[in-house]
């Protein structure tokens, strides 16, 4: 389709947004786009928002490709229609709704709740912003059939999103995700959305659930006696203007930590995230104020959660006493090592436990798990797949913990999504456990490397926005498939894994102890020296992501700097070979 034809089609589509069923402000903005901004008009209307790895997510604004009360309304009505078919025998379907601190999040949450109520559903709506994992907990606590949280996680302030959860408290997966969008696509007019709220169907929930949820988290503590001795551990915590502001300090206090230091500039929820360029704990700049506070207060550890408090970034003192930010793989390794070690020391391992990680997360987790004779299952990127494994083994095996390289972790099974509230508590407990042995978290990490191997990872994301960017990403994946590298960094590629190829999937699933990985647009190249390179388009952002994993031995901790530089060089060479530099 040429540009002129696309513009004509987009204009026809946009004209439907000028009717009386749309509010005056929306009509005005659409008319302005039609008259004076054809490029933006195309971006707003050239497609409909679709469910990706996290549901709907997009830039806020007018149009079918933007987050607004109408796209939220159509998604919710489509979800209602699907739930009515799936739970036909239930007299009143129950749903829970939560939201983060972003601009318009409360509006979108109330819009969602109103449409649910108009369709006859019982709705549990949180009274104010709450962490995403608490929504997962509430779904299970109230025995809901579904739930929605309004959030765009760590995306820039222009974005918002709509994540759908199923009755197990996990995000939707196949076939529900595709079938829900089919129901949404059946809605041809906004007139088909029932906006007529029935307030009697909406129950506002709040602090009482906070108490139940946080009390449940305290049952995960494995070292209460050590925390008593290390209660003065200095912890700097920042919610980065997000939903962790109340519950993370509450849980840390319930665990027994008495020295939690906040960052005043970031302790107020604000959808504009005024102190950071991006509220992403993966980015060093997002933790700069917290690290400054930690240096001023001579603190032990820094923790920062993203706006919906499902991911956490941490900074610890290195062997020179300076704060360094750990990546998601390092934090996951520390947490899983602590959980498995303490389960073993407390003789809780019965041979019926397991952990889960994603295919792009460090293999160090699997190596540690093997040491403790605990199965480690691989799943696709996205915590919903970890939740699905927990669901499959429910009542049969015990989930200890799991994680993904993008700073998301979970322990216990009463939440079915990554949970930064739980993670902050257990990471602080890990730091207390290490300190009780006279070690810092960094020293503990080096000991893990010495025992299990020095694994190092790096992520490169190439951003390609808009329609042309999407086409470029698709072409890059096509090129890698048609011309996969034979050698990388002068090391032979021993295996190419294509998660769209049935033969590759059969091989992978045979190794994965019965857990089947579905088809996905992911490529992995494994080399003879154990390096792993993964390539995948993001399901939530306009990016293509490259994950690099290399490893070597760390015979002596004093060799850390030397081996670290060696692994850095190896990754740089791999990037050069793939023409990413």
Q: Which residues are catalytic?
A: 153
SS3 per-residue string spanning 525-567 = EEECCCCEEEEEECCCCCEEEEEEEEEECCCCHHHHHHHHHHH
Can you tell me the distance from the alpha carbon of 437 to that of 434, in angstroms, rounded to the nearest whole number?
A: 5
Q: At what angle do helices 3-15 and 24-36 cross, to 10 degrees?
A: 160
Q: 408, 530, 333: which is closest to 154 by C-alpha?
A: 408
For residue 130, count other CB atoms closer than 10 A to its CB: 29
Strands 202-205 and 122-126: what pairing? parallel
CA geometry: angle 389, 441, 571, nearest 5 deg:
70
Dihedral angle sign, alpha carbons of residues 430, 436, 437, 442: positive
SS3 per-residue string spanning 484-509 = CCCEECCEEEEEEEECCCHHHHHHHH
Place of tokens 């796209």: 71
Query: 175 preceded by cis ω (within 30°)?
Result: yes
Dihedral angle sign, alpha carbons of residues 443, 445, 446, 448: positive
Tokens representing 516?
A: 């089947």
Beta-strand (E) ranges in 172-242? 202-205, 235-238
222: DSSP letter: S
Specify whether the CB–CB gap between 13 and 45 falls below 8 A: yes
Q: Bridge partners of 324?
A: 316
Can you tell me the distance from the alpha carbon of 309 to that of 120, in angstroms, rounded to the nearest whole number?
A: 31
């Amino acid at each position: 389709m040429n540009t002129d034809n696309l513009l004509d089609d987009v204009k026809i589509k946009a004209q439907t947004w000028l009717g009386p069923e749309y509010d005056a402000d929306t009509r005005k903005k659409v008319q302005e786009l039609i008259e004076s901004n054809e490029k933006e008009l195309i971006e707003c209307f050239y497609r409909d928002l679709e469910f990706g790895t996290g549901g709907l997510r997009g830039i806020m604004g007018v149009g079918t490709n933007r987050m607004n009360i109408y796209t939220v309304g159509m998604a919710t009505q489509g979800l209602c229609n699907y739930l009515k078919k799936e739970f036909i025998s239930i007299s009143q379907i129950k749903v829970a709704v939560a939201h983060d601190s972003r601009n318009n999040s409360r509006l979108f949450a109330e819009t969602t709740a109103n449409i649910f109520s108009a369709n006859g559903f019982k709705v549990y709506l949180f009274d104010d912003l709450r962490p995403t994992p608490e929504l997962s907990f509430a779904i299970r606590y109230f025995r809901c059939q579904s739930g929605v949280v309004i959030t765009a996680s760590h995306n820039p302030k222009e974005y918002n999103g709509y994540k759908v959860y199923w009755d197990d408290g996990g995000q939707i997966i196949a076939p529900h995700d595709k079938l829900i969008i089919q129901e949404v696509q059946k809605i041809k007019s906004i007139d088909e959305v029932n906006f007529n709220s029935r307030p009697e169907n909406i129950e506002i929930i709040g602090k009482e659930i906070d108490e139940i949820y946080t009390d449940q988290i305290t049952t995960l503590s494995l070292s209460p006696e050590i925390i008593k001795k290390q209660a003065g551990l200095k912890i700097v915590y920042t919610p980065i203007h997000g939903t962790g502001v109340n519950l993370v300090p509450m849980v840390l206090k319930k665990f027994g930590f008495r020295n939690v230091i906040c960052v005043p500039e970031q302790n107020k929820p604000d959808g504009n995230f005024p102190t950071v360029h991006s509220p992403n704990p993966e980015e060093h700049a997002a933790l700069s104020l917290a690290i400054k506070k930690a240096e001023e207060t001579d603190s032990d550890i820094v923790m920062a959660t993203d706006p919906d408090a499902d991911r956490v970034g941490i900074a610890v003192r290195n062997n020179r006493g300076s704060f360094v930010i750990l990546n998601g793989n390092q934090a996951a390794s520390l947490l899983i090592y602590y959980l498995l070690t303490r389960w073993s020391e407390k003789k809780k391992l019965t041979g019926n436990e397991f952990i889960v990680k994603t295919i792009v997360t460090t293999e160090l987790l699997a190596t540690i798990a093997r040491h403790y004779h605990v199965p480690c299952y691989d799943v696709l990127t996205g915590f919903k797949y970890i939740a699905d494994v927990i669901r499959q083994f429910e009542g049969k095996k015990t989930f200890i913990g799991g994680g993904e390289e993008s700073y998301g972790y979970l322990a216990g099974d009463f939440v079915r999504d990554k949970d930064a509230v739980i993670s902050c508590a257990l990471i602080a407990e890990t730091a207390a456990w290490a300190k009780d042995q006279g070690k810092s978290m960094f020293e503990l990490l080096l000991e893990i490397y010495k025992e299990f191997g020095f694994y190092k990872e790096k992520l490169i994301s190439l951003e390609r926005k808009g329609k042309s960017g999407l086409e470029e990403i698709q072409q890059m994946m096509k090129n890698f498939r048609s011309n996969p590298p034979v050698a990388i960094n002068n090391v032979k590629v021993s295996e190419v894994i294509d998660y769209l190829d049935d033969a590759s999937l059969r091989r992978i699933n045979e190794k994965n102890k019965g857990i089947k990985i579905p088809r996905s647009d992911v490529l992995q190249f494994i080399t003879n020296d154990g390096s792993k390179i993964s390539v995948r388009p993001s399901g939530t952002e306009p990016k293509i992501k490259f994950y690099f994993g290399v490893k070597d031995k760390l015979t002596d901790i004093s060799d850390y700097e030397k081996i670290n530089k060696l692994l850095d060089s190896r990754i740089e060479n791999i990037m050069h070979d793939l023409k990413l530099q």
